[in-house]
Amino acid sequence: MERWDQLNKFFNRTGTILTFGLNALNGRKLVDEDLYVGDWDPTNAHDLINYTLSKGYKVESWELGNELSAEGVSGRVEGTQYGKDMIVLKKIINKLYKEYNKTSEKPKLMAPGGFFNAKWFADMFKASGPGVVDVATHHNYHLGAGVDPTLFYKMQDPYTLSTIAQTYADVEQTIQNYGPWASAWVGESGGAYNSGGRIVSHAFVNGFCALLFHRLMGTGVLKTSHNGSPFLRAYTHCSRDKAGVTMLLINLSNTTGVDIKVASDMNLYPPRLAKYAEMSEMVTGEREEYHLTPMNGDLKSPFMLLNGVPLNITKDGEIPEMYPFIADASAPMHIAPSSIAFIKLKELKAPACDADS
């Protein structure tokens, strides 16, 4: 358990909220190319959970298996059998956490951590029964394999990107019908599987974009719509620091820029929210703009510009300063072709963000 001890020291120091995946193939027999049958052997999982509790380590959720659902990846288990095994794991968790007087810290039980198939997920829920599976986790790599020669074009095609919406709708409907006590989580997602595509996945959209998302976008999500091109993707969150809202705008077109004006809900507030009505037509005040573009307009470039300035790690290995462009919030904004923009509107007051705070 030395390695487990070392990992938990790291988790504690970094404030990690931990989900840990357990081996779901112990005890099973391989009967053809990829199908495993028989009951799961929980001995190893029991010992690990018991040791974890004895050391006082915090695990937010335990997940059984990885990519064994539906057709699986290098292996699969039928949904009905998986559901029976989840009952076994749930009993172990309940028993051990009760023995250690830590029922108030009892973790979530998650499964299957694999690709979605409506019948497979339904079979798992029907076999496990109410209250066993707390979170149904599924993986999304809807752009396909990283070696696909059309990957570069797929990632810029709004119609291809939007196909994932149907998967989310199907997951939601399946859980509603067969496991309404459970939540749906995306356990893995990355566009293209097998570590993405060479000279595609690691280019342009890199860590700086993720860093800005983390700094600017809060947890509250607002419904956002526009009447423009489908090549414009628009998302709005409550700002991370609770001052106004922040928009994420992605222009997938490599030829056409987009000019945008922002307006709020246009007098859709009920009387109890009348205090927001005066702000419902146009946004006022100042806004911060962070425009991310690829070096020399080349989407395959690994280098990114912020408001025209190259972003590079400093000589000391530190993250560079990331300054916004300040503009009048009521003025139109321009989103260049093949670019990403974060727009922070400090003065736009959204009722949902007040509730979120």
- 357: pLDDT strictly greater than 70: no
Q: Name the nearest CA neighbour of 231 among 211, 256, 213, 199.
A: 256
How many residues in the chain? 357
Check pLDDT > 50 for residue 280.
Answer: no
Instruction: Report whether pLDDT(207) > 80.
Output: no
Q: Is residue 200 part of a domain?
A: no
Question: For residues 155 and 131, is the Cβ–Cβ distance under 8 A?
Answer: no
Radius of gyration of the chain (CA): 24
Closest residue by Cα to residue 36 from 144, 112, 119, 137: 112
* Structural domain ending residue among the three candidates 141, 162, 193: 193
Domain end point (choices 193, 223, 249):
193
Domain termination site, one of 169, 193, 217:
193
Please say if 67 is a catalytic residue.
Answer: yes
**Whole domain around residue 267: which residue ranges?**
207-356
Cβ contacts of 221 within 8 Å, gap of 6 or more: 235, 236, 237, 238
List, for residues 113-150, the tens digit of each pLDDT value. 999 999 999 999 999 999 999 999 999 998 999 999 99
Q: Tell me the per-residue pLDDT of 231-240, one tens digit each, with 9 for 90 and over.
A: 999 999 999 9
Same domain, 211 and 184: no
Q: Supply the pLDDT for residue 55.
A: 96
- For residues 131 and 218, membership in a common domain is answered with no
**Are residue 152 and residue 242 in the same domain, yes or no?**
no
Of 188, 278, 281, 321, catalytic: 188
Residue 53 has pLDDT above 80, yes or no: yes
Known catalytic membership, residue 71: no
- Judged against a pLDDT cut of 50, whether residue 267 lies above it is answered with no
Evaluate if residue 99 carries a pLDDT over 80.
yes
184 shares its domain with 216:
no
pLDDT at residue 50 tops 90: yes
Judgement on whether residues 149 and 35 belong to the same structural domain of the protein: yes
Quick: pLDDT tens for 64-94: 999 999 999 999 999 999 999 999 999 999 9
Closest C-alpha to 50, from 39, 40, 62 = 62
Q: What is the dihedral of CA 132, 79, 111, 38, to 10 degrees?
A: 90
Whether the per-residue pLDDT at 3 is higher than 60: the answer is: yes
Q: Is residue 126 included in any domain, yes or no?
A: yes
Regarding whether 78 and 56 lie in a shared domain, the answer is: yes
Task: Confirm whether 201 is domain-assigned.
Answer: no
**Within a domain: 285:** yes
CATH classification of the domain holding 42: 3.20.20.80
What letters, b where the CB count within 10 A reaches 16 and e where it falls short, cover 182-219? bebbebeeebbbeebbeebbebbbeebbeebbeebbbe
Please report, in angstroms and rounded to a whole number, the separation of the first and last CA atoms in the chain. Answer: 41
180 and 54 inside one domain:
yes
Whole-angstrom distance, CA of residue 1 vs CA of residue 51: 9
Q: Do 163 and 41 share a structural domain?
A: yes
The residue from 2, 33, 67, 288 that is catalytic is: 67
Answer yes or no: do 157 and 11 share one domain: yes
Residue 202 within any structural domain of the chain: no
**Across all residues in the chain, what is the average pLDDT?**
91
How many structural domains is the chain composed of?
2
Whether residue 149 is found in the same domain as residue 257: no
Q: What is the DSSP letter of 307?
A: T
Confidence of residue 277 (pLDDT cuts 50, 70, 90): very low
What is residue 92's predicted lDDT score, i.e. its pLDDT? 98
Domain holding 292: CATH number?
A: 2.60.40.1180
